[in-house]
Structure 1
Amino acid sequence: MSTWVSINSDPRGGIAPSTTRVSNLANHLTRNARRLGDKLALVWGEEKWTWEQMDARVNALAFGLRDRFGVSKGDRILIQSQNCNQMFESMLACFRLGAVWVPANFRQTPEEVSWLAQSSGATGMICGAEFPEHAAACDEPERGFMLVIGGPKGDSDFDTLVDFYMGQTVANTAVDRDDPCWFFFTSGTTGRPKASVLTHGQMAFVLLNHLNDLMPGTTHEARSLCLAPLSHGAGIHQMTQVAAGAATVLFPAGRFDPEIAWKIVQDHKISNMFTVPTIVKMLVEHDSVTQYDISSLKQMIYAGAPMYRSDQKYALSVLGKVLVQYFGLGEVTGNITVLPPSEHFEDDEDMRIGSCGYPRTGIEISIQASDGSEMPVGQQGEICVIGPAVFAGYYNNPDANAKAFRDGWFRTGDLGYVDADGYLFITGRESDMYISGGSNIYPREIEEKILTHDAVSEVAVLGVPDPVWGEVGIAVCVLRKGSEATAEELHAWLKPKISSYKMPKRFILIEEMPKSAYGKITKKIIRETLEQRGLLGEVTFA
């Protein structure tokens, strides 16, 4: 098995790696097992585990990985799995050994996951039995072992290994602040995903920051519902629950059903949940929201994309003041801004409409011009950040690191401005901008306008090539259930409400908006879907 080699000789452009000893993240589990041993830690379907039981399973898995497969500090272990207790346990076992947890988006193709295995230098793989093609695609000599979750009993079965080594214990491996613990893959909106290197010291700050800024007052009595894949933001959120000693309830496998979610909230007295705006929308618009007691819910945390104002107001009318918004990328582990429940209002006069909040504790924001100079208050530029939540760099990708950092600032690629009070407003993603007739067009403003139409439920505006203007905008719309409108009607309705150069030249109506594995609406996926369906040649308006 290979051992850790620095992610780059100089991942941050001149800043030497730290040799400051920090607590291993798995110590949160150790502490909980001692202090809260018989208290609830995890629920998955009909099964439940206490902190003592979870610690025992993680110990057994870590011992088995080390004893049978030689896993040691710095080894990268690829995970291809849907949410389950074993996936959660694999995270903590990797941390305990000082190994690096490398979770894949389970909806990716076998070829894509094979590339993740190669690019990360993974020396072993833990794979759900429902993904045999992914396992086969990653079955290379450099993968020293393959452990299967839910497979037939035998040497390669996850639970067989845990049962065999049950009772064995493993001390939490000594780690430094900059020792990697997690390769957090970007969603790959442009090109292939990049592995953001998260470290033990960085993550320690992130967990404390989440508890302080997003879920103040969270204790071991809290309950958290996990709706999204553990491979990304939900995994960070659930580690926050471990840090607080709060129990996690994993949503059952299969298609997302809002009624099941609300029943779980009632039955388990859920205190908080983390998701994306599209899932919040599905939850609050479903009839079942009024059929269950959801009074235990204190924080409905949403991130990953801005929430349109119309959806925000409706969610507040249904749930009350429990919405928490944060803005952050995987590279900053979600820690850039926060807009707490006290600053969410139904009344437009009270609400800072369009703001994603103020800087998180310990985080500093700079709005910068293309040359790195600071933009004045109220003027748009690239959102750049510094602080302990910023990642160590992209694994084995010096070119990407050089582009991502400038004078110590991490460049998010998002555009926005801050107001006089320091609140951040995101105006768009730099990659979403298109140029029509020499003018820069940012889709966000147009999308917000279209969503004020009573018949429109979801919308995405993107630029497509045009022989006259270079690029023109198209508006892809999903109508509300039971509503009717034509492309011509939407065009005529919007035309007097927006500047002519921003006016979309095409309207395309589809039944369902294509989304990423994490429930986000991404322009890349929409564009690919339209091309596959041959819809890019829809009616063009004058």
Structure 2
Amino acid sequence: MTTETAPSPANRQRTTNLATFLTQTAARLPDRPAIIRGEHTWTWSQLNARVNALAAAMREHGVGPGSKVLLHSANCMDSLTVLYATWRVGAIIVPTNYKLLPDDVVPLAELVAPDLVIIHASSDDHARALSDYEIWSIGDEGETAEFASAHVSQMIEKHTGRGNVTVDEPVYVNSPAWYFFTSGTSGRPKAAVLEHDQMAFVVTNHICDLMPNLTDRDATLVLAPLSHGAGVHALTHVARGAAVVLTTSDTLNPAEAWELIDRHSVSTMFTVPTILNKLVQTAPADHAPDNSSLRYVVYAGAPMSSRDQRVALDTLGTVLVQYYGLCEVTGNITVLPPELHGTTAEPDGIPTAGYVRTGMTISIQDDAGRELEPGQRGEICACGPAVFAGYLNNPEANGKAFRNGWFRTGDLGYLDPTGLLYITGRASDMFISGGSNIDPREVEEKLLKHPDVVAAGVVGAPDDTWGEVGYALCVRRPDSSLTADELLSWCRENMVRYKIPKRIEFATVLPTSGYGKVTTALLEEEFRKRNSWPSEA
């Protein structure tokens, strides 16, 4: 019988620093375009030199292994510079969603206790709210800020040409790289701890399963904040040496997006369904899928209705790639590749989320943690190298997130006999009406079968008789005069009775979070604003 002992600190297992992806690409493809915004282009060697200079500035200010760098900024040329410089010195990057208000960012900073905060030059209110920390500013076109002790571009200029050489700080298995804030809209903030070795697997898997054959001749257009999924997507392009194209607009401008796709022969994009739908709706009249540079239009973050998928396929061609996975698994649970879009069964009108990602495992479990057979609905659980290490300083949340070694997504669904996953909703969104469990997504998909309904959100509302009933917020076709009574009559003919919403109202758009999601909380808030929500009394 042998006794296992932990390795001594001197024998800790090294792993690849994420900054090494840039180091290798800059050496291999020094003159290929790396970052493009407007009329400005940096090559990989130029980006790497900026990262070296900023890393030197960070080291000079005491930022090193284990330090935390909080970045609150709109996408700009030096966004990736900050990420890779942070990793180069062995520190942990902490990006926040640029749409968050100052009061929203303060508790995030309190959770991670950053050693350095980098804020966009236009965000004076955020800087005042975070004035207890050392603050640098960031921005393009020489933007400066009185609130900052230094500006990123000035620090880079100061430290350029000082003989800086690329030295990626040693990191080890389980070394944190990224504190990734979850997209919850209320309660205590949670930061998922993403590690260098975990993220190296995710980058590899994204290339393997989402964008096979990605090369330095590809280019991606960034249409979402680099603080979350779009940032992870960009890392894959750094690893392959494919150009990263940034818009000049801080919000989605479909006309600009299509112009950039054409100008730079963009071949990949990361989107969420709301962004993808807008691009499809505004596609140029002469857009021809057979002649388009687009190869992989990736979407994630929320379900996309089967009807929207079909419209996108008709407009863009066979280029759609869906992936499913929470930030805790870094989007790495399933993939629906282009060839499976529109070709798989859709029980109850719900399209599949695809098959399990390479190296990952899915389990459908009941409330007691028992694994269920194909076709049986339960909670979607996952394990594998993409699963995060846990939440920062939050043992209570960790206890809820893991059971018997499985990460619990909180999403409901089932596997078919071939291994395709069908997601029916979130456990927290499900409501009980007259003793029957109702997944809002199932009702939403039914409503979308009506030819005049282009979007729908359903939430369970309290009811004296049934316990809870469905309230639906719908978006009509622009030229439609459909009334709530007419839609309810249609529901009675096309839906199981207990799933028919008790109330239907219309809006020009559905409310979405900063991450492009239509959430239960936002739907309830919208009904409350309309004085339609049932009285607490």
Q: State the TM-score, normalizing by the size of structure 2.
A: 0.93
Distance (whole Å) between structure 2 residues aligned to residue 288 and residue 196 of structure 1: 40
Paired with 1:352 and 1:244, the residues of 2 have a C-alpha distance of 38
In the other structure, the counterpart of 2:425 is 428
**Could you tell me how far 1:155 is from its partner in structure 2?**
4.8
- State the AA in 2 paired with 1:202: Q
Unmatched runs of 5 consecutive residues or more in structure 2: 1-5
Question: Which of 25, 32, 38 in structure 2 is aligned with 1:39?
Answer: 32
Is contact 1:343–1:351 with CA below 8 Å preserved after alignment?
A: no
What are the Cα deviations for residues 460-481 of structure 1, in whole angstroms up to 9, with x where unaligned?
A: 0001111222211101001122
Contact 1:344 1:351 in 2 (8 A): no
Q: Distance in 2 between matches of 1:351 and 1:339?
A: 18
2:111 to 107, 119, 134: 119
The 8 Å contact of residues 349 and 446 in structure 2, kept in 1 or not, is answered as: no
- Are 2:159 and 1:162 equivalent residues in the alignment? no
Equivalent position to 1:381, from 375, 378, 382? 378
What's the counterpart of residue 272 of structure 1?
A: 268
SS of equivalent to 1:85 = coil
- Residues 1:210 and 1:300: Cα distance change in structure 2 (over 3 Å): same
Structure 2 letter corresponding to 1:221: R
Counterpart Cα distance in 2 of 1:174 and 1:347: 46
Match of 2:49 in 1: 56
Q: Tell me: CA distance 1:351–1:478, structure 2 relative to 1, closer, same or farther (3 Å).
A: closer
* Residue among 198, 203, 215 paired with 1:202: 198
For 2:348 and 2:449, the matched residues in 1 are separated by 17
- 1:106 and 2:98 matched: yes
| Cα offsets for 1:484-505 (capped at 9, x unmatched) | 2111111111112111111100
Q: 2:67 aligned with 1:75, yes or no?
A: yes
Question: Structure 2 vs 1, CA of residues 499 and 110 (structure 1 numbering), >3 Å: closer, same or farther?
Answer: same
Q: 1:219 aligns with which of 181, 195, 215?
A: 215
Residue-by-residue CA offset, 1:111-143 (whole Å, 9 max, x unaligned): 110110011121210000111111111111xx2
Structure 2 distance, partners of 1:499, 1:258, is: 39
* Alignment match, 1:3: none
Match of residue 21 from structure 2: 28
Could you list the per-position Cα deviations for residues 49-80 of structure 1 after superposition, in whole angstroms to 9, with x for gaps in the alignment? 0000000111111110111x210111111111
Q: Equivalents in 2 of 1:295, 1:344: separation in Å?
A: 18
1:306 match: secondary structure: coil
Contact kept? 2:74, 2:250, Cα under 8 Å: no
Read off the aligned partner of 2:277 and give its amino acid letter. K
Pick aligned residue for 2:125 from 107, 130, 133: 133
Tell me the amino acid that sits aligned with residue 166 of structure 1.
T
Q: State how 1:430-445 maps to structure 2 within 5 Å.
A: 430-445=427-442
Contact 2:348/2:442 (8 A) holds in 1 = no
Contact persistence 2:350–2:445 (CA under 8 A): no
Query: Is the Cα–Cα contact under 8 Å of residues 262 and 289 in structure 1 kept in the other structure?
Result: no
CA offset digits 1:171-195 (Å, max 9, x no partner)? 1000012101101100114523310
1:98 aligned partner, one-letter code: G
CA distance in 2, matches of 1:347, 1:423: 9
Where 1:230 maps in the other structure, the secondary structure is coil
What amino acid is aligned across from residue 286 of structure 1 in structure 2?
Answer: T
Report if the CA contact (8 A) 1:417-1:424 is conserved: yes
- Within-5 A mapping of 1:368-517: 368-517=365-514
1:9 alignment partner in structure 2? none
Taking a change above 3 Å as real, the CA distance of residues 289 and 444 of structure 1, as seen in their structure-2 partners, is farther
- Which letter does structure 2 place at the counterpart of 1:157? H
Between stretches 25-34 and 160-169, larger displacement belongs to: 160-169
Tell me which residue corresponds to 2:3: none
1:260, distance to aligned residue in structure 2 (A): 1.4
Bigger mean CA offset, 435-444 vs 363-372: 435-444
**Structure 1 residues 19 and 528, CA gap change in structure 2 (3 angstroms):** farther
1:518 deviates by 2.5
State the TM-score, normalized to the length of structure 1. 0.92
Asked if residue 367 in structure 1 is aligned to residue 360 in structure 2, the reply is: no
> What is the CA RMSD across the aligned residues, in angstroms?
2.2
Is contact 1:316–1:346 with CA below 8 Å preserved after alignment?
no
Aligned to 1:192: 188
- Contact 1:259 1:289 (8 Å CA) reproduced: no
Distance in 2, Cα, partners of 1:91 & 1:304: 22
Q: Secondary structure at the match of 1:181?
A: strand
Q: Deviation per CA, 1:374-404, whole angstroms, max 9, x where unpaired?
A: 0111000100000000001000000100110
Unaligned runs of 5+ in 1: 1-13
Q: What SS does structure 2 have at the residue aligned with 1:432?
A: coil
Q: Which moved further from structure 2: 314-323 or 526-535?
A: 526-535
**What is the distance in 2 between the residues matched to 1:460 and 1:186?**
22
Give the partner amino acid of 2:527. Answer: L
The 1:352/1:488 distance shift into structure 2, 3 A limit, reads closer
Give, in whole Å, the separation in 2 of the partners of 1:459 and 1:118. 37
Asked if the contact 2:73–2:120 (Cα under 8 Å) also holds between the matched residues in 1, the reply is yes
C-alpha displacement of 1:148 = 4.3
Query: For residues 257-336 of structure 1, what are the structure 2 equivalents within 5 Å?
Result: 257-288=253-284, 290=286, 295-336=292-333
Q: Take 1:353 and 1:472, find their aligned partners in 2: how far apart are those partners?
A: 21
Change (3 A) 1:289 1:186: farther
Question: Deviation per CA, 1:189-241, whole angstroms, max 9, x where unpaired?
Answer: 45233100000000000000000000000011110111110000000000011
Alpha-carbon distance in 2 for matches of 1:74, 1:347? 46
Aligned identity (percent) is: 48
Greater alpha carbon shift after TM alignment, 226-235 vs 246-255: 246-255
By how many angstroms is 1:444 displaced? 1.0
Q: Secondary structure at the match of 2:482?
A: coil
Which of 229, 237, 249 is the equivalent residue of 2:225? 229
**Given residue 115 of structure 1, which amino acid in structure 2 is its aligned partner?**
P
CA distance in 1, matches of 2:336, 2:344: 16
Q: Find the residue that maps to 2:104 and give its secondary structure.
A: helix
Counterpart check, 1:151 vs 2:144: yes
SS in 1 for 2:150: coil
- Cα distance, 1:169 vs structure 2: 3.2
Q: Name the CA distance, whole Å, in 1 between partners of 2:413 and 2:175.
A: 33
Amino acid at match of 1:264: L
Q: Pick closer, same or farther for the CA change 1:425–1:291 going to 2, 3 Å.
A: closer
* Equivalent position to 1:90, from 82, 91, 94: 82
- Give 1:258 shift: 1.5
Q: Is the 8 A contact 1:317 1:346 kept in 2?
A: no
Contact (CA 8 Å) 2:127, 2:135: kept in 1 or not?
A: no
Number of equivalent positions: 521
Q: CA deviation at 1:342?
A: 1.1
Q: Take 2:13 and 2:466, find their aligned partners in 1: how far apart are those partners?
A: 56
- Residue 458 (structure 1) shift: 0.7
- Residues 264, 385 of structure 1: alpha-carbon distance in 2 compared, 3 angstrom cutoff: same
Q: Is the 8 A contact 1:450 1:494 kept in 2?
A: yes
1:526 Cα shift? 2.3
Q: Is the 8 A contact 2:461 2:469 kept in 1?
A: yes
Give the AA of the match of 2:257. A
2:93 alignment partner AA: W
Q: Which residue of 2 aligns with 1:250?
A: 246
